[in-house]
Structure 1
Amino acid sequence: MAKQSTLDKSITKFIKPKHWLTWLGMGIAYLLSFLPWSILQSLGSVFGRFLYLISPRRRHICNVNFKICYPDMTKTKRKQLTKEHFESMGKGVLETFASWFQNKNRFSSRVTFEGQEVIDQVLSKGRGCILISGHFSSLDICGSQVPRILDVHPIYKLQKNPVINWIMERQRKAIFTKTIERRNMREVLKSLKKNKAVWYAVDQDYGRQDSVFAPFYGRECATIAHIGRIAKMTNAPVVLYDYGRTATGYHLAFTEVPDFPTADDVTNAAKMNELMESIIAPKKEQYFWAHRRFKTQVNKGDPSPY
């Protein structure tokens, strides 16, 4: 089924038997969302260890990524980091349920912010701003906290499962004043013109179209090029949004990216990848290593490392 927005569709469109299993899963997710934070974290670790056992393909992808990004890392360390990654992702799944089905302020006392003054300064210019971030396991729970200090319009990707889309799009609409499907460039420009922030996660491989090749951990990989182009077109400041899980909650930090963009797409992409490396380093296990970041090759005929 083609990926389509479900915002204009009634729930009655998704009550056919083929959707019942997904609804059962979402019912369980709803119940899990009520767990206290400490239990959510513990159960998330257990769930992550289960995912590790049943996901050989994802384990393989992680191992390949670690070989590329950390060539000096031993096999034992790669295996350990993969296990830690899956535990972090297990926590992230349960945190996502909490962000979808619970009040966004439920865990607000566990959240710390850094860089409020950066946000205030860039928005004082009246040109909006572009937040750039990576994919970490706490993406949804941390993202739900950003509106406490900033009216941000996140860019999102539609999911294949229409029931998941129906729930996800409505829950995010309840948190954010506006969400933008990633192909809708017109709405991105409208938001910036209204001095709003738009939020892009810039670290995934979307293929050759609208991408350039730039180094990420020393290897050329397809990197989206339109962030620099939008910034040049609108003169909107670009802000690095770093977020992650701590021992007691979550930390969100905002830093303006200096001297960005340049006139060159590859230079801009390389800078973004360098920034991603800098925010991955302190919390490697939380990064989404199960994504095939290097699947698109510079030369079309070259084999995939996966």
Structure 2
Amino acid sequence: MSASKIAIGCMHLLAKLPLPLLRGLGKVVGRVLFVVAGQRRRIALRNFELCFPDVPEVQRKAWAKESFEVFCQTFLDRSWLWFGSEELVRSRVKLVGATHELKGDTPTIVFAPHFYSMDAGGLALPLNTEREFTSIFATNPDPDLDRWFMNGRQRFGNVKMLNRADGVKPIIQCLRKGGLLYLLPDMDYGKNDSVFVPFFAVQDTATIPSLSRFARLGKAKVVALYNRMTPEGYVAELTPAWENFPTDDHVADTARMNRELQAAIMTMVPQYYWVHKRFKTRPDGEPSLYSGK
């Protein structure tokens, strides 16, 4: 039996634990990971240094430690999110905010940035709407893990997963049919198709302008979904549709997206995905911001 199958089997067992016990286990694992996962620790600390140069180092380190804990807690929570009963998931995952934006058939893009709770938010929407719900994925090289992720993310509602390799056309088709698109465009996806816009204190951050472009091509409104881990489970907060978005300037739109994200991050700093090399791609001629990391 492969290691991934054993791990998935363990998640079946963990799904039966009381939530406080599971969260406690995740916290312990996160503290250990902060010590032993040296490269990821250095990346997280560097990201905090780049984004918050005026914040005292002791605070940045505290954020990084808590970020590792939340990362592990939310990962273990996938046990009950993907194996627990619908009743259990509904009792722990709450959708709040501008839920009226889900009604009707207006093409809608849900900007869902990489908070560690993103998979909880990915279930909150199909549990609360009958509309077709589309998300974009990249194939995991491990077929067992890939199947686990796919099954978990499609377990409720009318969910359709589109492979990133299939291009833009099926995405726009889903939108124009009045669907919902769950979009996570806030990572560093390389130089191709990216624009450089500010993100916190880093003025040139490679960011794909897909939110603006898909909204324009699909004639869609944009709402944001900010997912937060709480002691009781998760709260997914839906914002009202963004006004004056998109415009004809995809660079300005992408800069606005980052500003909106910054405001959300500041309400729960450690819960954002800081273990990723967000600033790996640099403008031509600029040195790496992660030298030795």
Give me the TM-score of the superposition, normalised by structure 2.
Answer: 0.91
Q: Decide whether the 8 Å contact of 2:191 with 2:281 is kept in 1.
A: yes
CA–CA separation in structure 2 for the residues paired with 1:180 and 1:142: 18
Give 1:208's aligned residue: 191
SS at match of 1:183: helix
SS at match of 1:164: helix
CA RMSD in angstroms comes to 1.7
SS at match of 1:107: helix
Q: Decide whether the 8 Å contact of 1:240 with 1:254 is kept in 2.
A: yes
Deviations 1:87-113 (A, max 9, x none): 101111111222222224313223332
CA–CA separation in structure 1 for the residues paired with 2:195 and 2:253: 10
CA–CA separation in structure 1 for the residues paired with 2:55 and 2:97: 32
Q: Does 1:129 find its partner at 2:108?
A: yes
Give 1:45's aligned residue: 27
Which of residues 140, 148, 151 in structure 1 aligns to 2:127? Answer: 148
CA–CA separation in structure 1 for the residues paired with 2:48 and 2:152: 34
The letter of the residue matching 1:228 is S
Q: Does 1:168 find its partner at 2:149?
A: yes
Deviations 1:108-134 (A, max 9, x none): 2233322112322xxx3x441011121
Give 1:250's aligned residue: 234
Between 205-214 and 164-173, report the one with greater CA deviation.
Answer: 164-173
Between 29-38 and 168-177, report the one with greater CA deviation.
Answer: 168-177
CA–CA separation in structure 2 for the residues paired with 1:86 and 1:127: 38
SS at match of 1:245: strand
Between 198-207 and 170-179, report the one with greater CA deviation.
Answer: 170-179
Give me the TM-score of the superposition, normalised by structure 1.
Answer: 0.87
The letter of the residue matching 2:125 is V
Q: Decide whether the 8 Å contact of 2:137 with 2:163 is kept in 1.
A: yes
Count of aligned pairs:
284
Q: Compute the displacement of 1:248 (Å).
A: 2.5
The letter of the residue matching 1:244 is R
Q: Decide whether the 8 Å contact of 2:176 with 2:219 is kept in 1.
A: no
SS at match of 1:244: strand
The letter of the residue matching 2:246 is P
SS at match of 2:119: helix
Unmatched 5+ stretches in structure 2: none
Q: Compute the displacement of 1:247 (Å).
A: 3.1
SS at match of 1:270: helix
Give 1:218's aligned residue: 201
Deviations 1:5-31 (A, max 9, x none): xxxxxxxxxxxx6xx122112211221
Which of residues 49, 64, 70 in structure 2 aligns to 1:82? Answer: 64
Deviations 1:135-190 (A, max 9, x none): 11122123212112233212222222222102211232323521122233222122
Report the CA distance shift for 1:29/1:56 in structure 2 as closer, same or farther (over 3 A): same
The letter of the residue matching 1:139 is M
The letter of the residue matching 2:122 is G
1:152-301 residue pairs with structure 2 within 5 A?
152-177=133-158, 178-184=160-166, 185-219=168-202, 220-255=204-239, 256-301=241-286
Q: Decide whether the 8 Å contact of 1:217 with 1:277 is kept in 2.
A: yes
CA–CA separation in structure 1 for the residues paired with 2:209 and 2:157: 26
Q: Compute the displacement of 1:304 (Å).
A: 3.3
The letter of the residue matching 1:23 is K
Q: Decide whether the 8 Å contact of 1:127 with 1:234 is kept in 2.
A: no
Report the CA distance shift for 1:141/1:105 in structure 2 as closer, same or farther (over 3 A): farther
CA–CA separation in structure 1 for the residues paired with 2:10 and 2:35: 21
Q: Compute the displacement of 1:301 (Å).
A: 4.9
Q: Compute the displacement of 1:80 (Å).
A: 1.1
Q: Decide whether the 8 Å contact of 1:135 with 1:203 is kept in 2.
A: yes
Q: Decide whether the 8 Å contact of 1:205 with 1:295 is kept in 2.
A: yes
Q: Decide whether the 8 Å contact of 1:63 with 1:79 is kept in 2.
A: yes
Q: Decide whether the 8 Å contact of 1:32 with 1:97 is kept in 2.
A: yes
- Percent identity (aligned): 30
Report the CA distance shift for 1:111/1:21 in structure 2 as closer, same or farther (over 3 A): closer
